[in-house]
Amino acid sequence: MFGSLKFVLFKSKLNLLIPCGFVAIVVKDMTGNNGWVFPLTLLGIIPLAERLGFATEQLAFFTGPTVGGLLNATFGNATELIISIHALRSGKLRVVQQSLLGSILSNLLLVLGCAFFSGGVTCGKTEQNFSKSEAVVSSGLLLMAVLGLLPPTVLHYTHSEVHSGKSGLALSRFSSCVMLVAYACYIYFELTTSRRREESNEGRGENVGDADNNEAPDISKSEAIAWLAILTIWISVLSDYLVNAIDGASQAWNIPVAFISVILLPIVGNAAEHASAVMFAMKDKLDLSLGVAIGSSTQMSMFGIPFCVVIGWMMGQPMDLNFHLFETASLLMTVLVVAFLLQDGTSNCLKGLMLFLCYLIVAASFYVHSDQDPDGKFFTTELPVF
C-alpha cells in the first residue's frame, strides 16, 4: 500500500489541491463561512476525481477490456453521483436535478466543443473523422433521455395529471426503471460487441493496440481496490460539506443556486474528463474523445438521472423527472444541436467553437434564471447590471 503512494499522491500536479479539502473542513468548523467553504471544497474534490479515474484505470489492467470498460463506465461519473446522493439526503431535489443536468450540458457543449476545437487547431487537418454509427447510437440514447423528461414536465405545466402531484411522480419512477433497463441493454451490447470485435481481430492475427497492451500497471490489484475505497469515502465526506455550503455560498457570492448547480458543480466534476477528451483530440483519437464526452453524457442521462429517482424513492424523497420547462428546453435544444453536428461523422474547429459558444449562452441563461423553491415560491438574486 505504501509503495503506491508515489503513484497516487505524487504523480499528478493536481494533487497540490488536495489540502484545500482539509482547509475547507477547518474553515467550516471554526468560522462557518460557507462563502469560503464552497470554493475550497470544490478545489479539494478536483484532484480526488482525477485520482479516482487513475485508480479505475489501474484496476482495469487486471480485469480485462470487457469488465474494465464497465468499471470505467461505473466510476466515470462517481463524483457527480456522490454529490447528488448527499443532496438527496438533504432534501435538495433541485440541486440534484440541476447538477445532473449541468453535467450533461457541460459534457455535450463545453467538453466536446473544446475537444473539437483543440483537435482541429493542433492536428493540421481540415477535418477529423470519428465513428458515425456509434455517434448515432449515442444521440438516440440522449433523445430517449429527453423523452423520459418531457412527459412529467408537460403533465405538470399543463395540469393534465389524473391525480395531481401523484401521476407525474409515478410516471417518473416507471420511466426511470425503463431507462435503467435500456442503459443496461446498451452496456451489454457495447461490451459484447467489443469482445467479439477483439476475438475477430485475434482470429485474423491482427495486433491492434499492442502498444497499449504492453503497458504495465503502476499499482497492484489490491492497492487499486483500496485506493478506490479511500478516494470514494473522502469524496463523500467533502461532498457533504459541499452540498451544505451551496445556499450560503449563493448568498455570499450573490450568485443564483441554479448557476452554481448547473455550471460550477459540473465543471469541477468533469475536470478530469475535460482534460482527457482534449488530449485525445489533440492526438487525433477523436473516437476516444467522443467516448469520454458523449459516453459520460449518455451515462448521466440514462443512468445517473433515473438512478437518483430510484434512490430518492427508497429514501422517501419525491425526486421526479420534472426538471421544469427552462431546464428541459435547454437539454432538448442541446441534444438536437449536438446530434445535428455529429450526423456526418466529422469534426473541425468551427464545430468546436460553435459548441463552446452555445455553452456560454446556456451559462448566461442560468445566471439570470429565477428558479422555484420546493414551496412553490420564486427566488431571485440581485445581479449586477451590465
**In order of start, what are the domains of the chain with their CATH numbers?**
2-206+219-367 (1.20.1420.30)
27-41 as b/e: b if 16+ CB within 10 A: bbeeeeebebbbbbb
* pLDDT value, residue 72: 66
- Condensed to tens digits (0 to 9), the pLDDT of residues 92-124 reads 999 999 999 999 999 999 999 999 999 888 877
* pLDDT value, residue 96: 93
Which H or E run contains 128?
strand 128-129
How many of the other CB atoms lie within 10 Å of CB of 213? 10
* pLDDT value, residue 1: 61
Q: What is the rounded radius of gyration, in angstroms, for the C-alpha atoms of the chain?
A: 21
How many of the other CB atoms lie within 10 Å of CB of 338? 25
> In 106-220, which ranges are continuous DSSP H helix?
112-122, 132-157, 167-203, 210-213
- Nearest CA among 150, 127, 145 for reference residue 294: 145
The burial of 16, by beta-carbon neighbours within 10 Å (0-12 exposed, 13-18 middle, 19 or more buried), is given as exposed
CB 118 within 8 A of CB 141: no
* pLDDT value, residue 375: 41
Which H or E run contains 347?
strand 346-347
Specify the pTM.
0.86
User: Cα dist. 142→56, 104, 281, 297, 305 in Å?
Assistant: 25, 10, 22, 8, 12
The burial of 197, by beta-carbon neighbours within 10 Å (0-12 exposed, 13-18 middle, 19 or more buried), is given as exposed
CB 108 within 8 A of CB 289: no
- Residues in the chain where the model's pLDDT stays below 70: 1-3, 64-70, 72-74, 76, 194-195, 197-215, 372-386
CB 183 within 8 A of CB 301: no
214-245 as b/e: b if 16+ CB within 10 A: eeeebbbeebbebbbebbbebbebbbbbbbbb
* pLDDT value, residue 374: 41
Would you say the C-alpha torsion 328, 145, 85, 74 has a positive or negative sign?
A: negative
